Structure 1
Amino acid sequence: MRRADLRRGWGRFVDVLIRLVRWAGLVCAALLAIHVILTIGSANPDNGITRFVSAAADPLALGFQDLFTPADPQLAVLLNYGIAALFWLVITSMATKILAALR
């Protein structure tokens, strides 16, 4: 009976971990997408919200910031930060599948 309790506890732990990983990836992708929207929409760069989102998006881009360097800076943000957002969604999906296999 003790072994069944441990197995059930492990399953609950992994379920919580999966939810945390999924939410973290979603938040990262959402911040990157919001940064793209604010940039393409020409949001005021001196606004506090715009500065916060920009400051949060830069480290989340994980080196994708300058992957493409088109002449149009808005297109560069769309491509680079958009790819970074997709990267977060793909990595999160893979991580949750790996964690689910550990259940």
Structure 2
Amino acid sequence: MRTRVVGIAAGIISWVGLALAVVLVVHVVLTVGGANPDNPITTTIRSLAEPISLAFKDLFNPQDAKLRVIVNFGLAALFWLGVRAIVLKLVRRLN
């Protein structure tokens, strides 16, 4: 039973961490690609990406707005992938 619960928890953590990183990367792609900022897809992704970027959202302030998004939201995506890896390792040790 314990193995099953740990496996389910690891699966959920893995998918959530990956989803957070994907949202951030999609936001970067849409911004750098010049997507219409008023499009519902773009506004939805931006509204999801901003809170999960945490303090990375304005960590660096280069003049170029696209570079700012690449660096800050890219770092946030790497952060969530790192958190995902660490938490997965800890959860799997419970097995």
- What TM-score results when the alignment is normalised by the length of structure 2? 0.99
Give 2:61's aligned residue. 69
Using the aligned pairs only, state the percent identity.
Answer: 42
- Counterpart residue identity of residue 42, structure 2: T
After superposition, residues 42-53 of structure 1 pair within 5 angstroms as 42-53=34-45
Give 1:21's aligned residue. 13
RMSD: 0.4
State the SS of the aligned residue for 2:61. coil
Q: Distance in 1 between matches of 2:82 and 2:89?
A: 11
Aligned pairs, number: 95
Among candidates 78, 89, 97, match of residue 89 of structure 2: 97
Give 2:77's aligned residue. 85
After superposition, residues 27-38 of structure 1 pair within 5 angstroms as 27-38=19-30
* Structure 1: 4+ residue segments shifted above 4 A: none
Shift of 1:63: 1.1
Among candidates 11, 24, 44, match of residue 3 of structure 2: 11
Q: Distance in 2 between matches of 1:66 and 1:46?
A: 22
Q: Could you say which structure has the larger radius of gyration?
A: 1
Q: Distance in 2 between matches of 1:61 and 1:24?
A: 14
- What TM-score results when the alignment is normalised by the length of structure 1? 0.91
What are the ranges of 5 or more consecutive residues in structure 2 without an aligned counterpart? none
